[in-house]
Amino acid sequence: MNQESAAKFGPEYKTLPAAAGVGIEPLIGITAVADIEARREAMADYIWKGEGPPKSLPTVESGVSAPDFASLAGVRRIDRLKIALRHQVTATVYDLVPRRTWNRRLALYHNGHGEPFDTMLRTVQALLDRGYRVMVYAMPFHHWNQQQIADPADPAKLLPNPSHRELPAWETAQFSALTFFLEPLVVTLNYAQATYRTLSVEMIGLSGGGWTTTVYAALDPRVTRSYPVAGSLPFPPRPAAPKPRPTIGDWEQTKDALPGFYAGASDSFLDMYVMASIGPGRGQLQILNRFDECCFNGVGHRAYQAPLRDRVALLAEGRPDRGRWDLLEDATHDDHTISPYALSVIIWDLDSTNVTT
Comparing C-alpha atoms, which of 169, 172, 201, 199 is closest to residue 186?
Answer: 201
Please tell me the predicted confidence (pLDDT) of residue 5. Answer: 81
Please tell me the predicted confidence (pLDDT) of residue 7. Answer: 86
Please tell me the predicted confidence (pLDDT) of residue 338. Answer: 97
3-state class (DSSP) for residue 18: helix
pLDDT for 319-355, tens place per residue? 999 999 999 999 999 999 999 999 999 999 999 876 6
| Range with top average pLDDT, 100-104, 123-127, 234-238, 302-306 | 123-127
Comparing C-alpha atoms, which of 272, 131, 153 is closest to residue 215?
Answer: 272
Please tell me the predicted confidence (pLDDT) of residue 357. Answer: 47
Overall average pLDDT of the 209-231 stretch: 97
Overall average pLDDT of the 148-171 stretch: 96
pLDDT for 111-147, tens place per residue? 998 788 999 999 999 999 999 999 999 999 999 999 9
pLDDT for 253-267, tens place per residue? 999 999 999 988 899
pTM for the structure as a whole: 0.96
Please give the mean pLDDT across all residues of the chain.
93
pLDDT for 18-55, tens place per residue? 655 568 899 999 999 999 999 999 999 999 999 999 99
Overall average pLDDT of the 91-96 stretch: 98
Please tell me the predicted confidence (pLDDT) of residue 22. Answer: 67
Overall average pLDDT of the 278-296 stretch: 95
User: What b/e readout covers 33-60, taking b as 16+ CB neighbours within 10 angstroms?
Assistant: eebbeebbeebbebbbeeeebeeebbee
For residue 353, what are the CA distances in angstroms to 23, 87, 350? 33, 41, 5
Catalogue all structural domains in the chain, each as residue range(s) with its CATH number: 3-351 (3.40.50.1820)
Residue 200 forms beta bridges with which residues? 105
**Residue 43 dihedral angles phi and psi, to the nearest 5°:** -60, -50
Number of C-alpha atoms within 13 angstroms, CB side, residue 21? 4
Task: Tell me the C-alpha distance between 322 and 70, whole Å.
Answer: 39
Overall average pLDDT of the 84-98 stretch: 98
Position 251 pLDDT exceeds 80: yes
